[in-house]
Amino acid sequence: MTLKSDPGNFFEDFVVGDELVHATPRTVTEADAALYIGLTGSRYALYSADTFAQDCGLEGAPIDPLLAFHVVFGKTVPDISLNAVANLGYADGRFLTAVYPGDTLRAVSEVIGVKENSNGKTGVVWVRTTGYNQENEEVLTYVRWVMVNKKDTSKPAPTVVVPELPSVVKPTDLPRPAFMAPDYDFVAAGSPFGFEDYEIGEKVDHVDAFTVEEAEHQIATRLYQNTAKVHFNQFEQAQSRFGRRLIYGGVAISLARSLAFNGLGNAAEIIAINAGSHVNPLFADDTVFAWSEVLDKADLGDGLGALRLRLVATKNRPCADFPYKDSEGKHVSDVILDFDYWAAIPSRS
């Protein structure tokens, strides 16, 4: 029998320096944007209305940066994380070019690090992924690391290579936001607060919450063409330590960002990802809450600023007391996401 199916890469298949050109380019449409709103409840005006975006100097409403991120991420899954145990974190991400309905996205990744775990059954793989549009322009780039199963535990461990990653994208390296500020409509945006209204150290409880349904998680993850077994294969996951499928971490990010509208409604455009960790699993029927902390500010000029924000999401726990880490510096069990990013925001002046 000829085997034509691809079982995906296991940990021992990754070699530092390898380039992975991912299959299935994806043309993003207005239908995708509408479905993304339907699945996340996102209310940012910049991505909801052509008229609002045009008043901000754009040709129309662009695709939400996180939707573009998920589409590019989804391209990488068959080659990188089909056999993953969990996606662990992100760093050094930048959103370089606005994506519009009709743009076609593709992805290329480079393996930049490998380290076998002490159990000899899994290892961590670091990759830098870059998404391109149909003009071969870089749309976004980011590093992520993922824990991947070994297929043959007798294979010797590779030489450890752990990449040095910046803890933060420096303000001087931030991409220029796509939108412009002069005709920004704070009333239509749904929030009166601009760049000057936020202080470093300020915390915002986003108050609202979303319960994750099995069906919408499945639709969202399929929308991104993410085929990771941990999200879809209940037959296999029944044998895992959790006994059930995990919610794709990108769903947690998008839900938390959607919740962040309540308190950060004008900080719509993500321009960089500094760090991110999925610190505890999320399952169907869990309810997601979120809060944010302003870690830093940067004046970008021309009436625009950037807020460096820590977005923390929890499951089944409201965030009025800003749950985060315990006295030993470990994330409390209710926390599912610790996401550090820069978002552009207009100044009222």
Domains, the chain, with CATH or none: 16-153+166-346 (3.10.129.10)
Is the distance from CB of 178 to CB of 346 less than 8 angstroms? Answer: no
What is the reported pLDDT for 192? 97
What pLDDT was estimated at residue 336? 97
pLDDT tens-place string over residues 143-194 = 999 999 999 999 999 999 999 999 999 999 999 999 999 999 999 999 999 9
pLDDT in tens, 231-277: 888 898 898 888 999 999 999 999 999 999 999 999 999 999 999 99
Q: How far apart are CA 226 and CA 82, in angstroms?
A: 9
Model confidence pLDDT, tens digit, residues 86-139? 888 999 999 999 999 999 999 999 999 999 999 999 999 999 999 999 999 999
Secondary structure of the chain in HEC code, one letter for each residue: CCCCCCCCCCHHHCCCCCEEECCCCEECCHHHHHHHHHHHCCCCHHHCCHHHHHHCCCCCCCCCHHHHHHHHHHHHHHHHCCCEEEEEEEEEEEECCCCCCCCEEEEEEEEEEEEECCCCCEEEEEEEEEEECCCCCEEEEEEEEEEEECCCCCCCCCCCECCCCCCCCCHHHCCCCCCCCCCCCHHHHCCCCCHHHCCCCCEEECCCCEECCHHHHHHHHHHCCCCCHHHHCHHHHCCCCCCCCCCCHHHHHHHHHHHCHHHHCCCCEEEEEEEEEECCCCCCCCEEEEEEEEEEEEEEECCEEEEEEEEEEEECCCCCCCCCECCCCCECCCEEEEEEEEEEEECCC
Contact yes or no for 335/318 (Cβ under 8 A): no
CA distance 311 to 295: 10
pLDDT at res. 317: 98
| Rounded Cα distance, 88 and 115, in Å | 13
Q: Under a CB-based contact definition with an 8 Å cutoff, are residues 253 and 272 in contact?
A: no
Per-residue pLDDT tens for 281-293?
999 999 999 999 9
1 pLDDT exceeds 70? no
Burial of 68 (0-12, 13-18, 19+ CB in 10 A): buried
State mean pLDDT over 40-56: 97
User: Whole-prediction pTM value?
Assistant: 0.95
